[in-house]
Amino acid sequence: MEWWIIIVGSLCGLLAIFLTGAPLFVGFLIVNLLAVVMLIGGSGTLLATNSIFDSSNISSLSAIPLFILMGEILTRSGSVENMFKAIDGLVGRIRGRQYVLTVIVSVVFGALSGAAMAVAAMLGKSLYPTMMKRGYDSQLSIGAILAGASLAPIIPPSVLAVVIATLADVSIGEMLIAGVVPGLIAAGLFLAYIFTRVTLRPELAPEADASEMERKGVWHSLLLLLPFSIIVFAIMGLILLGIATPAEAAASGVIGSVIVAIVYRQFSLGMLREAFKSAMLITAMIMVIVVSSNLFGQLLAFSGATRDLVAFGAQLSGSPYLLLFMLMAIVFVMCMFIDQIALLLILVPIYKPLIEAAGFDPIWFWVLVLLNLAVGGITPPFGYTLFAFKATSGELDLKSVYQAVWPWVGVFFVLMVIVALVPQTATWLPSIMR
């Protein structure tokens, strides 16, 4: 059977299952098991069983539930509200300070949560109404919040980065750290875009006055923010210093999040129970997707599709940027309609042999994919981050959200071009770890 028939047939089968309303991860598992029976026969069930067992016992995957649990504890305990107050007190008296506050809070919260939907929901509920009351432009406010939320999957700890690294068989630690510089560049581009818009059109932001600012000193704000440095060091610091593996750093982050909740007097056993419950449900879904993706990759190899994909990639190896553009364009378009982790299940087994044939640096390439997936979360019509924001921002209509986000998608394109042309932006920090 031709390799393209296998891939197209699998995608059509997935689409048919999705139309029934079945969960995405269930659909992937069903299609994979059916493909095993069709290609190998009844004896293929042994292959499927071994693949599922081996995939689910990868020790590095333990970082996923721990990162999720850490974010759940911080969000459910309300500790992030203190972080918001602290950063608000540190931002100076400048025009458009609420826009600046949005970006900075997104960077810090992204380094604590790793979930774009959580950041968008938090800012949509807390910051957006305040911005509207103070006369800030609605479209620019929406865009700043959604773009800021998209930093969460890029800046470690990122569950999405762990999933990519596991599926693509690259170092999880290097993949996590590789997102730091691109994430900071993205924040810089967002601020540059905001200042440019506000300078050209001052009516987009009111004059900053004392009523906009928390009337607390800088030292008080720094003291309020200090507990969060425990978590940042427990994750990025321990990984960069080579003291802990990503899974160990994730465990340290969980302990740090509990300490932060205790310091702010917002810890309770009920909160911890709910955090564990939510983390287990999310982890179970991700694990099914991971084992299904590994099984799909084995099926591609068994059918000969991997060999044909390598031959196809070799034909384009003389035009690496053309191949890169094609691969990134596929991710961008499919992200408009498919969940990010679900898309990884389909594309990672297909992309792995292609990037090896083209000679791409795997960390650099998968960081580009990560950036593409991050912007996919805010790209109409089905970006999940868009719906998370709308659900918490009141009577805002979806059309306004769609219109507000497109300029920021353009800023993300600039970021991806920078990372594509200057690979060191993604590879420099990981090279320090080696």
Q: What is the largest CA-CA distance in the chain?
A: 73
Q: Does the structure show a pLDDT above 90 at 417?
A: yes
pLDDT in tens, 198-237: 999 988 888 765 555 555 567 777 887 888 888 888 887 8
CA 413 from chain center: how many Å? 16
* CA 152 – CA 147 distance, rounded (Å): 10
**At 89, is the pLDDT very low, low, confident or very high (cuts 50, 70, 90)?**
confident
What's the length of the chain? 434
The confidence score (pLDDT) of residue 184 equals 94
Average pLDDT rounded to a whole number, residues 232-248: 82
Q: Does the structure show a pLDDT above 80 at 364?
A: yes
pLDDT in tens, 115-129: 787 778 778 877 888
Residue 112: DSSP 8-state? T
* Among 205, 189, 84, residue whose Cα is nearest residue 138: 205
Average pLDDT rounded to a whole number, residues 177-194: 94
pLDDT in tens, 160-170: 888 899 888 89
pLDDT in tens, 138-167: 999 999 999 998 998 898 888 888 889 988
Q: Which residue has the higher pLDDT, 362 or 346?
A: 362
Residue 208: DSSP 8-state? P
Which residue has tokens 């390598």? 310
Q: Which residue has the higher pLDDT, 19 or 2?
A: 19
Residue 282 φ/ψ, nearest 5 degrees: -65, -40
CA 340 from chain center: how many Å? 8
CB 80 within 8 A of CB 123: no
The confidence score (pLDDT) of residue 422 equals 95
pLDDT in tens, 11-57: 677 667 766 766 666 776 777 777 777 777 766 667 667 766 766 66
What would the two tokens of residue 160 be?
Answer: 């999405």
Burial class (CB within 10 angstroms; exposed 0-12, middle 13-18, buried 19+) of 1: exposed
The confidence score (pLDDT) of residue 146 equals 93
* CA 250 – CA 236 distance, rounded (Å): 10
Q: pLDDT > 70: what percent of the chain?
A: 79
**At 247, is the pLDDT very low, low, confident or very high (cuts 50, 70, 90)?**
confident
Residue 62: DSSP 8-state? G
Average pLDDT rounded to a whole number, residues 297-315: 63
Q: pLDDT > 90: what percent of the chain?
A: 21
